[in-house]
Structure formats: structure tokens, C-alpha cells
Chains A and B, each alone.
Chain A
Amino acid sequence: MFSQSVKTATETEAQTLTLADARPGETYRIISISPWDGREQLLRMGLVEGSEVYCITAFGHGPVAVRSGRTNIAIGWGLARQIMVKKVEKMASGVGRPVGVGEGRWFDGFAQRNRHRFGRRDR
């Protein structure tokens, strides 16, 4: 569906979906979460820019359920639409966020989030 390599900011933008568009069986990386009320709760539950989630199920125009680390979380449609994600082509492991997530990965996500923002400004 999408090209595998990430090269430019515009290309990243093109690949950006919201979690509401996620398809079961695919893995996504979170690029940004809109700064509103749900954000803090997501952060507490382990979803943050840079983390990877595996989509367990998605109801069209309804909730999605994702696996992050070892927790499964159901997220309503409205909230899922606030979460910008990018498809990850190869699943890292059986679980969503790989056990070895560290600082580097987190910064990865952070950088991407900003890139995505610049991308939006370019338009």
C-alpha cells in the first residue's frame, strides 16, 4: 500500500494515518497524539510518540483495540482519530512495543513528530 522507505518529510506526511484507520494484523508507530484530554491518559497507559502498537481489531467508524507492550487497550473512534500513526512494515516481535525500547527509539518518535509538523506547515 505504501512505499517502505522513509525519505523526505512530505513522504512521511503521505504515509500518516490516524489510528482510526488501522487495520487488524498490522503494526503502527505512533507519530503524534493531539494534545487534549485523552493524551495524558494514553501516556499513563503506555502510548506515547514512538511506541509501536499492533492492531488487534478495528470496527469501521468504531473502536480499535491495540496491543502495546503486553497490554491490550480498547480505544474509541474519536480518540483513535487524534492519534497519528505510520504503518510499520515488519512486525518487530510478537508484542507491539519491543521489550528493548529505550531512549533512542523515543527520540526517533519525537523527531518524527516534529518532522511531521513541519511537513504539515509546508503545505
Chain B
Amino acid sequence: MVLPKETATVSAAETGKKSTSAAVPAGVAPASATKSTTSPPTITSAPGSTRLIALAGNPNCGKSALFNRLTGLYVNVSNFPGTTVDISKGSWLGAELIDTPGVYGVGSYSDEERIARDSLLQADVVINVVNATTLERDLFLTLQLLDMGVPMVIALNMMDEAEHLGIKLDIPMLAHLTGVPVVPIVAIAGRGIDELTKAVASPKIGISDAQAIKAVQEERRRLAAEAQETGRIADPGRIADPGRISQGMLLLLAEGDEEIAQRLGVPPGEHRELIYTQRRRRADRLAAKVIKGGGEQKLGQILGEWTARPIVGIPVLLLVLWGLYWFIGVVVAQIVVEYTEGILFTEYYEPFVRQLMATFLSAENFVYKLLAGEFGLLTMTVTYLFGLLLPLVAGFYLVLSIMEDSGYLPRVALLTDKILNRLGLNGRAVIPMILGLGCVTMATFTTRVLASKRERTIALALLGIAIPCSAQLGVIAVLVTPLGLAAVAFYVAIILLIYGLIGVTLNRMLPGRSSDLLLDLPPLRLPQPANILKKTASRVSAFLAEAAPIFAVGVLLVAVLQETGILEAIQRAVGPLTAGWLQLPPESAQAFVMGLVRRDFGAAGLYSLAMTAHQKLVASITITLFVPCIASMLVLFKERGVRDALAIFLGSIFVAIGTGGLVSRLIYLIGWNLP
């Protein structure tokens, strides 16, 4: 990924101001900086102006919180490692600020690391965000950045939590030992931001480890020798001679980074083990000198540990699931939707629109049908989108955000690791899976946190086939919960069974072995209401922005199909499948056609059909397993290519129809009389 450095140009006027702002003595700037919002202080006084500032830090150390604080934008802040899998860019002080995925070190073990590495290699200044409560761990990356020789500043985050835990830190000592400015901050409260702004104006190249420098020099010599021999170095556009290759590149080469080696056209270096152990040792030594004691176990830590133990963890997990069911299935799906969809939209909004349209058009007119007919753009589409799906999606995201921010999800990862191992995944996969319950499309991106291609394939197949998204789940909740708890349990059991079967089968089929769980368990934190609301709002609006146009197109499509009689032809053609095999009303074909457009749309299509309880259950199961929506298919294409995407697409149709028919017969077989 290339981030063009030219994008953030600094105007001459700003450059002029730059020298003055840098000359301001420490301690004066904050007030003036906040007052003069029209001309924020720019960053360097040096002639080569700063253009790209990168935030770097361990997962979950607060980079995104700081990013939001600095840029005024909103990117997701969550209390679990691996939220940010993509780069977010914003502008700050006339430069480009980028939020990178969290990593424990710079390398190329995963996609996240590669993304982080490349943006760090390009950055002019790095703000290393360090969690003050986990210094020993975080310092490893810090020291690696020092060894890379990038101009940097350390933002010592979570100082509030450190104080709360009674951790005493010798901050001048940390600055002394690293050779770079250290600024204590509280990203979520905005404390220390002014000081950080000032410090970023004069970043420093810190103290590299002697061993690392030696390795870098050795690599430089090796490259020079290689260059002389072959007469050239790969990547000629950027690197003219070994003398000009950055220290960072050379360090990564020395550490055996294969991609960097490939870029330079030489075999990777062999110093990793030595440099890494040396660096860990230095990190521990530094931490020992900087931490002046403290570190009590407070409620967040104690609860965090108890919820990780099965004795407490499993009952809590069940309780959480029950709460989820109660809130979505009962409160939102029944009480709220009853009002919004049943009364607000169906009784007030739709008749109003019809009346209005009828003053212009006759009810037989095609345009009238299109806008206000059975599948009307202004009637059904709006009702489904706002009356039915919006409350469900919002409710779901609200719960999800609370779970994310409390730091509970990593516990779920731990508790489910053993089961997921059977499916060829590890506990980490639970995060994309749970996010998948929110939106499969978004979760598809998060599968990048999984270590191997094998795991990503399995996770994507499971997401594509057996994980319903919130909108769809919501509609299904509306359909199934009135049928009683037994029906809900049956639905869940069947979906879980299919889920397990797909996982186990793929685990057997795919070559290789999946990786093991290695996950940081952050403390439990009280979620911040402001963040929860912002996150829910941003996700809901993302949902609407994505769903609304596709919905509209889908509705148009169905309306046209209906007008031209094609829909009826399709219904007749697939009759043996729907009426024969699935034992559903013939009109359900229409819902499946809609399901091809979007799964939730398909589920919404079922919603309007007159069906028996038995049919509702079968139809719900079938549509859940049915094809992923267009948006997630597109992401699948992008992430995995045509073959995998097509396999998942066809596989899901096969699994859905197959299971639906079998389940329908099973219900008869066991003589279950649904209400």
C-alpha cells in the first residue's frame, strides 16, 4: 500500500507560522493553540516539513481513541485487540495522521502487521502509543521503533487507569532511556493532548540498541556487496544505493522479514532471534527502571480474571446470551417493532402515502404500483427499512457495542477456543463471528485478524453460510419468537449444527493446521456511554447507507419481475423446490429471489407471507442459511477471489435448501405440533 506523501502539502503561510509555533516555549502553547482554531500550529521547524504522522502501538492501547481526539473524526474504539484492521486517515496540524492496526512488533506475520509495517516505514513522525499499565509488554514495540531510527514521540496513554491501579512511573527516566519525548496522556478524556501536540513538533530519533545497530550495519555492508556483484538492487525507483536505504528497512531485513528482503532483492537476514531476545531483555530492564511500584488488582482486573474461569465464565456467558435474546427477541423484535412497523408505518405512514399518490395517479398505473404498490418504493421499502430493520439493527449494535467496550469479547474467545479448535479455528475467530451477527460484510473484513489463510477460509465460509446478520436475525426473531421458546431453541440448534458440520468438514478437507490462540485479555472496563452511542450511530448509518440503495434496486427488480410476469414464471419453475421439497407456500419463491439481493430483504419478504408456524420455522432456517448478501459477496470476491466466493455462494444455496427440506420433514417425523 502506497501512501502518497504529496497529499498533505503544507502551504507557504503555514510554513512561515511553523517556525514561530515551534519557538513557543513549553507551557505557553495550549491556550493559544485552542484559541486560534483557524491557524493550528504546524509541526516542524525544519525545512523538510512533516507530512505523514503515524500512530503505532500494541493492540488495544488506545490508538483509535487518540486518533479520534486529534482529528475529530470517528473510527471504532473497542476494548478488544484487533479492532482496527484497516488504516484510517485524517488530517491533523496540516499533516496526514494515520491510525494503524495494533501490533506487538513490526513484521510480516499477518496482514495487519504488513499494513502497519508499511505505513510505519513511510511515516515522517511516529507517535508510539504506549499503555502505561502494561509497560513491559508495550515497550518491545517501542524499542523496535527506536531501533528503526524513526523520529518519534511516546504517548503514554491510560494514565488514569495507571493512577487508579496505583502504578507509579518515572516518566523522565523513560524519556532519558529511550531518548525521545514522553508525554503522559488520557486519550479518552483528552488529557495531555496539548502537550503531545507540542512534543510532536520536535520528535526525536531515539537511542537504538547497540546490537541492532551492528546488525543494521552488517546488512548495509551485505547489500553493498550484493549491489557490487549484481550491479543493481531491486526496486530501483526508490532505492538508488545501499547507503540510502532507511535504517528501518535494514533492521527489518536483519530481523528476517521476507517481504522486505524480497523488495531489496536479497535473502532475508538471520539476526531475528538474537535481536528479539536482546530487545525483550532491554524492555524488561527499562520497565524495571521506570516502574516505581504499585499495580494493585482492582475490580476490572479481578472481574476480568473470574469471567475467564469456566466456573464463573460459562454461567456469565449464558446470562449474556439470555440477555441478548431477551433484549433483541422480546423487547425490540416484539414490543418496539410492533409499534414502529405495525402502527407507525403500516397504519399511519403507508395509507398517507397511498392517499397522496392516488391524487396524482390511478391505482392501475405502473408508476403507482412501483411507488406505492405491494412492493412500493415509498411503501414497503420504507416500512421495512425504517419500521422493521432500523430498530432491530440499532438494538443489536447497541448490545454489541456494550459487549465490545466492556472487554468481554476476549473472554468469550477464551471460553470457546476449545470448541472452535474442532472447527479448525481458534478462539480469536469468535470476534469476527460475533461481529458477523452485526453485519456479515463488516465482519468479513475482520477475518484478517485470523492468522492463516486456512482459518480465514473456514471463517468466511461460516460467515457466508451460517451466520445471520442483525437485520436478518431481527426479522427472524419477529417470525420465530412468537412460536415459543422451543421453536427458538430448535432454530438455534439447527443453525449451530450446520455451523459445526461446515466447520468440521472444512477442517478435515483443508490441508495444513490452524494456528493456536494467542490473545491479550484486556481488563473489564465500564463502557463509556458516549462511545457506545457514537459507535452505534455510526454503524446504523453505515447500515442504512449500504442497505437503502440495494433495497431500492431490489424492490425495483421485484416490481419489474412481477409486472412482466417473470416472477410468476420463476415461482412456477421453482415450485417443486419451494412447495414440493421445502413445503412452503409457492409465493415464498419471491422471498428467495429477494434474498439473492440481500438476506435481510429475503427475510423481510417472508415476513409478509401467510404461513403456518411450521412453515415459518422452516422458512426462517432456510433463509438464514441462504446466500450472503450482495455486499458481502463483493467483499468476498475482493478478499478471496472468484473461486472461493462462488463456492460459498453455491454451497450456501445447496445447504439452505437441503437443510430446509430435511428440517420440514423432521418436524413432521417427530410429530411436533407447533402452535
Q: How many A-B residue pairs have CB under 8 A?
A: 152
B272/A40 in contact, CB under 8 A: yes
A72/B305 in contact, CB under 8 A: yes
Alpha-carbon gap, A54 to B486, bound state (A): 43
Residues of A contacting B519 with CB < 8 Å? 73-74
Residues of B contacting A122 with CB < 8 Å? none
Residues of B contacting A35 with CB < 8 Å? 273
B305/A63 in contact, CB under 8 A: no
Residues of A contacting B287 with CB < 8 Å? 69, 99, 101
A74/B288 in contact, CB under 8 A: no
A70/B295 in contact, CB under 8 A: yes
For window 31-86 of A, CB contacts with B under 8 Å fall at 35, 37-38, 40-46, 48, 51, 56-57, 59, 61-63, 65, 67-80
Residues of A contacting B421 with CB < 8 Å? 62, 76-77
A61/B521 in contact, CB under 8 A: no
What 7 pairs between A and B have smallest CB-CB spacing? A76-B516, A76-B517, A62-B418, A79-B516, A44-B104, A72-B521, A44-B105
A63/B517 in contact, CB under 8 A: yes
Interface residue B309 (Cβ < 8 Å from any Cβ of A): yes
Chain A contact residue count (CB 8 A cutoff): 43
B485-518 CB contact bits vs A (8 Å, 1 = yes)?
0000000000000000000000000000001111
B134/A69 in contact, CB under 8 A: yes
Residues of B contacting A95 with CB < 8 Å? 295
Which residues of B come within 8 Å of A, CB atoms? 104-105, 107, 109, 133-137, 140-141, 165, 167, 272-273, 276-277, 280-281, 283-285, 287-288, 291, 293, 295-297, 304-305, 308-310, 313, 410, 413-414, 417-418, 421, 426-427, 515-523
Residues of B contacting A59 with CB < 8 Å? 310, 417-418
Given A35-B273, A62-B417, A63-B417, decide whether A43 and B280 contact each other with a Cβ distance below 8 A: yes
Cβ-defined partner of B427 (8 Å) among A24, A74, A101: A74
A57/B308 in contact, CB under 8 A: yes
Cβ-defined partner of A63 (8 Å) among B276, B277, B414: B414
Residues of B contacting A80 with CB < 8 Å? 516
B134/A70 in contact, CB under 8 A: yes
Closest partner residue, chain B, to A63 (CB atom): B417
For window 1-56 of A, CB contacts with B under 8 Å fall at 24, 35, 37-38, 40-46, 48, 51, 56
Cβ-defined partner of B281 (8 Å) among A57, A97, A106: A106
Chain B's nearest CB lies how many Å from the CB of A42?
7
B276/A45 in contact, CB under 8 A: no
Chain A's nearest CB lies how many Å from the CB of B207?
18
A38/B516 in contact, CB under 8 A: yes
Cβ-defined partner of A102 (8 Å) among B285, B293, B515: B285
Alpha-carbon gap, A45 to B276, bound state (A): 11
Residues of B contacting A46 with CB < 8 Å? 136-137, 140, 280, 283-284
* 7 pairs, CB–CB < 8 Å, chain A vs chain B: A40-B272, A48-B280, A70-B136, A72-B304, A75-B518, A76-B516, A76-B517
A79/B517 in contact, CB under 8 A: yes
Chain A's nearest CB lies how many Å from the CB of B227?
29
Given A73-B518, A79-B516, A79-B517, decide whether A106 and B284 contact each other with a Cβ distance below 8 A: yes
A76/B140 in contact, CB under 8 A: no
Residues of B contacting A75 with CB < 8 Å? 516-518
Chain A's nearest CB lies how many Å from the CB of B236?
31
B133/A70 in contact, CB under 8 A: yes
Residues of A contacting B305 with CB < 8 Å? 56-57, 65, 67, 72
B285/A65 in contact, CB under 8 A: no
Given A74-B308, A94-B296, decide whether A102 and B284 contact each other with a Cβ distance below 8 A: yes
Cβ-defined partner of B276 (8 Å) among A43, A51, A106: A43
Closest partner residue, chain A, to B276 (CB atom): A43
Alpha-carbon gap, A73 to B519, bound state (A): 6
